Amino acid sequence: MTTGVPGGGDGGYADAPTTPLAWGAGGPGQHAPTQPLPGVPHIPTSPGMPRAGRAPVPRSGRPPGPRLPRWLRRVLIAILALALAGVLAFAALLLATPSVSTAPSLAQAFDRAHGAAYPGPPVPSRFADSLVATEDHRFYSEPGFDPIAIGRVIAGRATGQPDQGGATLYQQLAKMLYTPSQAGVGVEVEQIVLGIKLDLSYSKPQIMRLYAGVAYFGHGYYGLAEASCGYFGVTPAGLSWPQAALLAGLVQAPTADNPIAHYTVARAREAHVLGRLVATGTLTRAQAVRAYRAPLHLVGGPAKGCTAR
């Protein structure tokens, strides 16, 4: 019910005057200043100002974490830059080096030029084990090159030590097929890249057969079949442990270690290979001693009935 006063317009009641509301200093929509409570200190605030007793929180809502030292960030950037440069350089070398799809045809041409049979017979396990033990004992696990051996070679050259050899069977095969009679650091790098390509393109038995088919064993014998028949009068499948070890020891210096011209030196290489077979766990020491004492049966030319073809 509306309460009015007499005398309003048209004989009605007029509304009583309303007391105006007290707005804050900012006008409508602004609250009047809050009065501090007795006994509580008043802390003035303003828009955007953090509340007292609470640390400022970043816009992300997470507290700032520890940052790496500037020198460490620079080192990491430098390492990443070097890694990227290495990847790009390796990719360029892959494109610049020849395709290894030609390896079988090159091996065939090589054997024909030297009167050897192609393809040669499968490589027997005794010769394969002997060759791996003395030339490349990580052959079955490496990716075409041996980082440990390469590091050893670099360290030896930097300190003036004799070159202990670091070329894998893949690299040696690449040298025989793609870079014969070439030398230098650039050629060695090319052989490493070609070795990686060979590993990616052929199986281990295929690499071993290609290698055995083009290796030179001295005394004019190219390929394992020619050397086996020429030195011992037997096919590769008939090689004994001492015969297989002697042939594997010839690939590094076939002329100097030729058993017909340099028997004592050749026997020393045979002993070395038998020792490596012991070190790799293929033979026991007793088996190696018996193999070394066994006769070699050198014939110095193909025996009747032995053929490498």
pLDDT at 148: 80
193 near 91, Cβ under 8 Å? Answer: no
Q: State the pLDDT at residue 75.
A: 83
Position 2 scores a pLDDT of 46
Identify the pLDDT of residue 83. Answer: 81
Task: Give the pLDDT of residue 1.
Answer: 46
Exposed / middle / buried, residue 30 (Cβ in 10 Å: 0-12, 13-18, 19+): exposed
152 backbone dihedrals φ, ψ, rounded to 5°: -65, -40
DSSP 299: -
Regions of the chain with pLDDT less than 70: 1-65, 86, 89-90, 93-96, 153, 157, 161-165, 302-305, 307-309
Q: What is the largest CA-CA distance in the chain?
A: 152
Element (H or E) spanning 5, and its range?
A: strand 4-5
Please give the structure tokens belonging to residue 292: 């070394």
Cβ atoms 249, 134 nearer than 8 A:
yes
For residue 24, the cross-strand partners are 27
Q: Which of 223, 242, 219 is nearest to 121 (CA)?
A: 223
